[in-house]
Amino acid sequence: MSRPLSDQERRKQISIRGIVGAESVAELKRGFNRHLHFTLVKDRNVATPRDYYFALAHTVRDHLVGRWIRTQQYYYEKDPKRIYYLSLEFYMGRTLQNTMINLGLQNACDEAVYQLGLDMEELEEIEEDAGLGNGGLGRLAACFLDSMATLGLAAYGYGIRYEYGIFNQKIRDGWQVEEADDWLRHGNPWEKARPEYMLPVHFYGRVEHSASGAKWIDTQVVLALPYDTPVPGYMNNTVNTMRLWSARAPNDFNLRDFNVGDYIQAVLDRNLAENISRVLYPNDNFFEGKELRLKQEYFVVAATLQDIIRRFKASKFGSTDSVRTVFDSFPDQVAIQLNDTHPAMAIPELMRIFVDIEKLPWDKAWDITKRTFAYTNHTVLPEALERWPVDLVEKLLPRHLQIIYEINQRHLDHIASLFPNDVGRLRRMSLIEEGDTKRINMAHLCIVGSHAVNGVAKIHSEIVKSQVFEDFAELEPEKFQNKTNGITPQLIAEKIGEDYVRDLSQLTKLHKFVDDDLFIREVAKVKQENKVKFALYLEKEYKVKINPSSMFDVHVKRIHEYKRQLMNCLHIITMYNRIRRDPAKLFVPRTVIIGGKAAPGYHMAKMIIKLINAVAQVVNNDPVVGSKLKVIFLENYRVSLAEKVIPATDLSEQISTAGTEASGTGNMKFMLNGALTIGTMDGANVEMAEEAGEENLFIFGMRVEDVTELDRKGYNAQLYYDRLPELKQAVDQIKSGFFSPDDPNLFNDVVLGFHPSIHPSIHPSIHPSIHPSPGLGPRCTWMMLLRHGFWPLSR
Ligand SMILES: *Cc1c(COP(=O)(O)O)cnc(C)c1O
């Protein structure tokens, strides 16, 4: 793969990856040696590969510092509008290579590391992923930070510095086993603790009302310690900040009021407070409703809003009239984007600050609050919508509950004035749901408390308006918008220059190459190189051998019934049966790669992983099948593994039930890396099909309207089982223990009756059989190949 570059290639690479001057290389080597000596306190006799990684990371970091300080200084002087992205997740992955690329240091670093007798790829592999996210929602937050820095916007990401990110997935005997992600064990060279900006966050207590207003008292305090991570823009000298909060117990924790006499116990109990930032909840698209999670959500919100208001007050806009800050210009200076409802408590918290502390009248505070917040909805799945029990909120955040009730009262009064005697509407639109347990509908709170609400793909935004929040859209149609998700590209293109990195629409320049055989062959060649490289990686890390000239059919994302990995599995079984039925028939050799984590409490998702591994066991060891079909379950899918597998993919599986995947971003990453897509008309697939032409994707299955109609009629799996002999055979095999001879009943409940995720849009019986892949299948006009192999996601 590392063939020598032509002069022309070299020049083009240099323009994007930075100039390799002898001076800069020498300086990098000096920096490296200085850090090895002074920072890591090692010499080359005893240094480990990890020491070398840290020495390099610190050397690269040094190049960020000046730009970081200058960018923040510039914001302080100019006071541009600040954009605050509030998120419980930032799925950043690795930082080293992205930083080198964005600073234009990649080539010089490559050269320096080479001259030092070290291997860059090996060093890069030592970095832990910052896995502070579950999937698309968290990765989107990371991409937005990158994009906003590249656009030179005064943006900040605010979240939690989880001590443990998303668990590491091990596969043992076909089952998922979770291991703690102790990502900070060796230290994190990219973060800087800022204890001088530590802030208090209050919980529990009670509310006292008096003539001077409400007072929240007798609270328990936890401190929020900020850690800052630099976010460099692409070659523009901008370095923004991601500020993540870590929970610290105050030094008098449990010692002041009670527990006197048990000093040791009081010190041990500091853990209770510090547990708030201990671990990321590993649910994707699922609401669990645990108290600790609510604490996390309020923790990030309370610390962040104090920080935002401090910064506003320090600006020229935070003027005071005699004693009080004037907040009229607040919404012009501050935009707060809520990444889903997870940080929704920011709405009552800002009201509490304005009304109880800053003594603003309610109406004024509410006007400013609404004009400050915007809310992004990420899902319409009912099991994912946050609905916090009123009792829990009352205990943890008593003043916020009162404020939410007040917001609701005024909101319902307004509805009642517009729609007299419409009790059903009031019930549907209330922030409070009555029932067994009284709950707060956090999406309703976000809609009411924001001036803009967006979905994340055209089709999803339509569903938000027409189905899930219909009453709200009827009330304020102008509030509802669409912002289709995107990904941050960063790589190297020979044919169209590097501008597309900032402006993806320039990819259309590739149009004129669709009939250029030489270009198509070049693209196919790079794809083939990526496939070989990935196959070598699998062989090295997992001792599995795959055939790099087979079609790589890849389905990687969180394991979820709605994402239909189970349907993919039925397709695999069907292909297996076809090969066995007619072994002499020509068949396109295929390697099906499925990967993704299941939430630890999600039984069905874990059974699906086990089933895929059981099917793999049978298929991969059947001599009749030979090399025609192989099934790989890819362990521990995460950002750094996505960067390896996506560029090696021929066929991208985007097969969610129509109406369930809000956008998807995996779909885009594959397409930008020259894979063909098989998918349903769901999420952003719809817009991808529009852009590339439906003839350039393999679209199949029911549309949203078909699914709605079927749900209305009632879904009866038996019908499809009876009608489709190949489906019947596959289901019967699973049920009879064909894939689990030691435990024939193991998968009974997976196919019991059978599973609703098997919507009848099973794979088309004629599945795309393209080989070798790109260029010979349907023409994908977006299909382009990035010289270097890894996918463009913020790297
Ligand atoms: C992009 C990405 C996702 C989201 O994938 P979808 O197919 O959109 O669900 C999940 N995990 C990782 C590691 C990603 O990079």
**476: number of Cβ within 10 Å:** 12
Q: Probe ligand 1: pick from 558, 593, 643, 678, max atoms within 8 Å of CB?
A: 558
Question: How many Å apart are CA 177 and CA 611, to the nearest integer?
Answer: 15
Rounded percentage of the chain residues whose pLDDT exceeds 90: 76
pLDDT given at position 257: 64
665 lines ligand 1 (CB under 6 A): yes
Burial class (CB in 10 A: 0-12, 13-18, 19+), 462: middle
pLDDT tens digits, 512-546: 777 788 887 888 888 899 999 999 999 999 898 99
pTM equals 0.93
> Do the Cβ atoms of 713 and 692 come closer than 8 Å?
no
Question: How many Å apart are CA 386 and CA 496, to the nearest integer?
Answer: 45
The pLDDT of residue 782 is above 70: no
* CA-derived radius of gyration, the chain: 27
- Residue 749 to residues 520, 529, 736: CA-CA distances in angstroms? 47, 42, 12
Give 793's DSSP letter: T
**384: number of Cβ within 10 Å:** 17
Name the closest-CA residue to atom 7, ligand 1: 666
Output the CA 523–ligand 1 centroid distance in Å.
24
**Structure-model confidence comparison of residues 768 and 147, the more confident one:** 147
Question: How many Å apart are CA 416 and CA 429, to the nearest integer?
Answer: 11
**278: number of Cβ within 10 Å:** 15
369 lines ligand 1 (CB under 6 A): no
Confidence band, pLDDT 50/70/90 cuts, at residue 788 = very low
Indicate which atom in ligand 1 lies nearest the CA of residue 683: 8
pLDDT given at position 56: 98
139 lines ligand 1 (CB under 6 A): yes
Q: Which residues contact 715 (CB under 8 A, 6 or more apart)?
A: 756, 759
Q: Which residues contact 482 (CB under 8 A, 6 or more apart)?
A: 454, 455, 456, 457, 458, 460, 461
pLDDT tens digits, 398-456: 999 999 999 999 999 999 999 999 999 999 999 999 999 999 999 999 999 999 999 99
Average pLDDT, the chain: 89
Specify which of 393-402, 542-551, 691-700 reaches the highest per-range mean pLDDT. 393-402
pLDDT given at position 603: 93
The pLDDT of residue 747 is above 80: yes
Cα 738 to the center of its chain, rounded Å:
37
Q: Which residues are catalytic?
A: 378, 557-558, 563, 665, 669
Q: Which residues contact 661 (CB under 8 A, 6 or more apart)?
A: 562, 563, 654, 682, 683, 685
The pLDDT of residue 145 is above 60: yes
Question: How many Å apart are CA 536 and CA 533, to the nearest integer?
Answer: 5
Output the CA 138–ligand 1 centroid distance in Å.
9
User: Token pair for residue 342?
Assistant: 């997870």
pLDDT given at position 516: 80
Q: Probe ligand 1: pick from 140, 555, 557, max atoms within 8 Å of CB?
A: 557
131 lines ligand 1 (CB under 6 A): no
Confidence band, pLDDT 50/70/90 cuts, at residue 550 = very high
399 lines ligand 1 (CB under 6 A): no
pLDDT given at position 334: 98
> DSSP characters for 362-408?
HHHHHHHHHHHEEEE-----GGGS-EEEHHHHHHH-HHHHHHHHHHH
Indicate which atom in ligand 1 lies nearest the CA of residue 638: 13
The pLDDT of residue 188 is above 50: yes
User: Token pair for residue 334?
Assistant: 């501050």
Nearest alpha-carbon partner for 768 in 758, 778, 782: 778
pLDDT tens digits, 475-488: 999 999 999 998 88
Q: Probe ligand 1: pick from 665, 668, 682, max atoms within 8 Å of CB?
A: 665
**Is the C-alpha dihedral spanning 538, 540, 541, 543 positive or negative?**
positive
The pLDDT of residue 748 is above 70: yes
pLDDT given at position 501: 62
Question: How many Å apart are CA 321 and CA 227, to the nearest integer?
Answer: 34
174 lines ligand 1 (CB under 6 A): no
Across 269-277, average pLDDT: 97
The pLDDT of residue 792 is above 50: no
In which residue are the tokens 């991208």 written?
Answer: 652
Confidence band, pLDDT 50/70/90 cuts, at residue 504 = low
The pLDDT of residue 11 is above 60: no
Output the CA 404–ligand 1 centroid distance in Å.
34
- What letter represents residue 218's amino acid? D
Question: How many Å apart are CA 339 and CA 283, to the nearest integer?
Answer: 15
pLDDT given at position 84: 98
pLDDT given at position 497: 61
169 lines ligand 1 (CB under 6 A): no
pLDDT tens digits, 647-686: 999 999 999 999 999 999 999 999 888 888 999 999 999 9
Question: How many Å apart are CA 647 and CA 529, to the nearest integer?
Answer: 10
Of 11-25, 181-195, 447-461, 629-643, the one with minimum mean pLDDT is 11-25
pLDDT given at position 382: 93
Nearest alpha-carbon partner for 648 in 470, 772, 736, 469: 772
Helix or strand holding residue 679 (H, E): strand 676-679
Indicate which atom in ligand 1 lies nearest the CA of residue 596: 11
> DSSP characters for 413-428?
HHHHHHSTT-HHHHHH
In which residue are the tokens 């896995």 written?
Answer: 131
3-state secondary structure 18-78: CCCCHHHHHHHHHHHHHHHHHHCCCCCCCCCHHHHHHHHHHHHHHHHHHHHHHHHHHHHHH
Nearest alpha-carbon partner for 84 in 453, 338, 443: 338
The pLDDT of residue 793 is above 80: no
Across 223-235, average pLDDT: 97
Across 592-613, average pLDDT: 97
pLDDT tens digits, 104-138: 999 999 999 999 999 999 999 999 999 999 999 99
Across 4-21, average pLDDT: 53
Confidence band, pLDDT 50/70/90 cuts, at residue 79 = very high
135 lines ligand 1 (CB under 6 A): yes
pLDDT given at position 99: 96
Of 38-52, 226-240, 488-502, 687-701, the one with minimum mean pLDDT is 488-502
Of 97-106, 432-441, 758-767, the one with minimum mean pLDDT is 758-767
Across 577-592, average pLDDT: 92
Cα 737 to the center of its chain, rounded Å:
37
Give 339's DSSP letter: E
pLDDT given at position 325: 85
User: Token pair for residue 352?
Assistant: 């509490």
pLDDT given at position 490: 56
Of 139-153, 255-269, 316-330, the one with minimum mean pLDDT is 255-269
